[in-house]
């Protein structure tokens, strides 16, 4: 019988919204696009991607604020503290978990920088991870 992945917990700053996700992320990257920079107020957003059905909100369904089209790609924030909790992407099939919202430590680590074609000009990438102008194919 195959072993079930470990479950990780994540939450917003104030704790009103809490989620659980399997520690089975398919990819993790540092996104430098202008939308991620504005959403986080930072130079980039470390994201971990996983199929949407492998994540669930444990607490605070009533406390979420959806920014974007709820039937397509959108961000889910806590309506109380404003924290970005997760993003629904790839035609609704995946979620991107901002790695900073995880309470537990995932086994995956970012493996690349994406959307470096629009990165903040004041930020220099100093690690040796691959850099992609956009989202890599494959």
What tokens were used for 85?
A: 């909790």
**How does residue 2 score in pLDDT terms, banded at 50, 70 and 90?**
low
Give CA–CA dist 34/101, Å, rounded: 20
For residues 56 and 19, is the Cβ–Cβ distance under 8 A?
yes
What tokens were used for 36?
A: 């991620």
For residues 129 and 30, is the Cβ–Cβ distance under 8 A?
yes
Q: Can you give the pLDDT at residue 10?
A: 98
For residues 79 and 70, is the Cβ–Cβ distance under 8 A?
no
pTM of the model: 0.88
Domains contained in the chain, CATH given: 7-118 (2.170.150.70)
Give the pLDDT confidence of 12-63 residue by residue, as tens digits.
Answer: 999 999 999 999 999 999 999 999 999 899 999 999 999 999 999 999 989 9
């Amino acid at each position: 019988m195959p072993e079930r992945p470990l479950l990780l917990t994540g939450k917003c700053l104030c704790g009103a919204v809490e989620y659980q996700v399997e520690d089975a992320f398919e990819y993790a990257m540092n996104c430098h696009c202008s939308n991620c920079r504005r959403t986080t107020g930072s130079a980039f957003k470390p994201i971990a991607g996983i199929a949407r059905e492998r994540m669930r909100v444990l607490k605070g369904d009533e406390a979420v604020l959806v920014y974007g089209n709820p039937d397509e790609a959108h961000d889910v924030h806590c309506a109380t503290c404003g924290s970005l909790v997760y993003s629904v992407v790839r035609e609704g099939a995946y979620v991107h978990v901002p790695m900073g919202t995880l309470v537990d430590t995932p086994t995956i680590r970012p493996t690349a920088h994406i959307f470096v074609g629009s990165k903040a000009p004041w930020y220099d990438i100093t690690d040796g991870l691959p850099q992609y102008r956009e989202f890599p194919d494959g």
